[in-house]
Structure 1
Amino acid sequence: MPRELKFIATPEKGEVSAILDQPENARALLVLGHGAGSNMKHSLIADLSDALVRQGLATFRYQYPYSEKGGGGLDGRKVLLATIRSAIEKAKEETHDLPLFAGGHSMSGRMTTLAEADESLPIQGIVCFAFPINGGKGPDERAAHFPHISKPMLFHQGTKDKLADIEVMKQVISTMKDRSTLHIIDTADHGFKVLKRSGKTRGQVIEEMAQTTADWIDGM
């Protein structure tokens, strides 16, 4: 059963909430962050968590100070990165010997890669759902830190994502073949909704991403 927790995001910002969902005989744990405009209970994050648990992976969803507050603008980068580090430490404390992975949707996936590039995280790999390669100042800026990441990375990307041109993602991933994997979802947008012609539902796409994530982790 999911268990609600609290942890200190930063000394200045104080406590934030988290949800740990750990199935019996879990093989690993994914620290799963939400996108910029949502929170840990958003349907995409909740559905992803449920699907990962069905694959035998524990999940640790968490809030940032701004999403805990429920309004206002995003926290600054320093606070976001510190919160990710604190979330990973709390997940590690709660699950002891489980292999740890971290990442999340859009902003959280990106911020996790930045945190890892700044200073190695106590995780075995990073999982990004809809990495926003075309946001901000564009691909050159968004991928500039990738050479400083030595851990394996898995990217789930849709072909209709307006924040992540799939051809650009392919090019970026091709420069990191030894440590990155790209899973492409046909016609999926930034929230992984797909066109009818794909022959899949959003629920099926989420299950596919969970299965791919589990297979990737098992293959490490």
Structure 2
Amino acid sequence: MTARALPLTLSLPAGGTVSALLDTPSAPQACYVFAHGAGAGMQHAFMGLLAHALVGRGIATLRFQFPFMEAGTRRPDPPAVAQAAVRAAVDEAARRLPGVPLFAGGKSFGGRMSSQAQATQALPRVAGLVFVGFPLHPAGKPSTSRADHLAEVRLPMLFLQGTRDALAEMDLVRAVVPPLGERATLHVVEGADHAFHVLARSGRSDGEVIEELADAIAAWVRALQSP
């Protein structure tokens, strides 16, 4: 948990609650509703470090638990359940930060559930989607079918993808993004895997990669807000 993180509890439409964390700079320029991946929750070190880096760039973040993670189970929620959690988090961000532009997305599974939610029914007030490692296919099973629904997303999208990502072979990523047109932007992180780890021999650290991710997100958000 970062120093600025405010613990919250989100009520879900079907009943029950999940935990959330809101990190807010003094004068937020935007808020990123930042969903976690299938293997680790909102308090994972990567999530916290990227949230902290974004706050330093004027972007608030709202992290939250999917119900399966809140319950301590390993099996990810069905899409409808996960998408309902995304909507609850977006609603909470809108209530907590009125007038602040909202963006949604997340790490891996969280990003995909956010885009599926948007493709099904537009997320209120959300101005764009940020994917921190879009999981294009299972490891060892290259495919692009998980991206089919992105054609129904009518918002700007930022893809942050590592060149060593076993869940998104780069040649397939480069085939998926251009057909989405001007609304899709690809930022390639050289040498990063799906967790955005880099090898020691690359001469870079994981911390430097997180700074690169935060810089890319902040620059993209600013560009969208420019007249």
TM-score by length of 2: 0.93
Contact 1:135 1:142 in 2 (8 A): no
Aligned AA for 2:164? K
1:123-172 deviation per Cα after TM superposition (whole angstroms, max 9, x unaligned):
00000011011239753321111111110000110000100101110111
* Residues 1:9 and 2:12 aligned together: yes
Aligned AA for 2:49? D
After the TM superposition, which residues 36-51 of structure 1 pair with which residues of structure 2 at under 5 Å, given as runs? Answer: 36-51=38-53
Q: Distance in 1 between matches of 2:202 and 2:163?
A: 11
* Residues 1:126 and 2:129 aligned together: yes
Contact 1:9 1:65 in 2 (8 A): no
Q: What residue is the counterpart of 1:31 in the other structure?
A: 33
* Residues 1:114 and 2:116 aligned together: yes
Aligned AA for 1:49? A
Q: Which moved more, 1:183-192 or 1:63-72?
A: 63-72
Q: Secondary structure at the match of 1:104?
A: strand
Q: What residue is the counterpart of 1:155 in the other structure?
A: 159
C-alpha displacement of 1:71: 2.2
Contact 2:144 2:172 in 1 (8 A): no
Contact 1:5 1:20 in 2 (8 A): yes
Q: Distance in 2 between matches of 1:72 and 1:106?
A: 15
| CA RMSD, Structure 1 to Structure 2 (Å) | 1.3
C-alpha change, 1:100 and 1:56, in structure 2 (3 Å) is same
* Residues 1:172 and 2:167 aligned together: no
Q: Distance in 1 between matches of 2:172 and 2:99?
A: 37
Q: Secondary structure at the match of 1:144?
A: helix
Q: What residue is the counterpart of 2:207 in the other structure?
A: 203
Contact 1:47 1:206 in 2 (8 A): yes
Q: Which moved more, 1:188-197 or 1:35-44?
A: 188-197
C-alpha displacement of 1:98: 0.5
Aligned AA for 2:131? C
Q: Secondary structure at the match of 2:181?
A: coil
Aligned AA for 2:207? G
Q: Distance in 2 between matches of 1:178 and 1:199?
A: 33
Q: Which moved more, 1:134-143 or 1:53-62?
A: 134-143
Structure 2 gaps of 5+ residues are: none
Q: What residue is the counterpart of 1:190 in the other structure?
A: 194
1:159-212 deviation per Cα after TM superposition (whole angstroms, max 9, x unaligned):
001001011101111112311110101110010001233321110100111011
Contact 1:186 1:198 in 2 (8 A): no
1:9-51 deviation per Cα after TM superposition (whole angstroms, max 9, x unaligned):
2323x11100001001110000001000110000111111011
Contact 2:5 2:23 in 1 (8 A): yes
Q: Secondary structure at the match of 1:61?
A: strand
Q: Secondary structure at the match of 1:155?
A: strand
* Percent identical residues: 40
Contact 1:64 1:83 in 2 (8 A): yes
Contact 1:194 1:200 in 2 (8 A): yes
Q: Distance in 2 between matches of 1:212 and 1:187?
A: 16
Q: Which moved more, 1:180-189 or 1:63-72?
A: 63-72
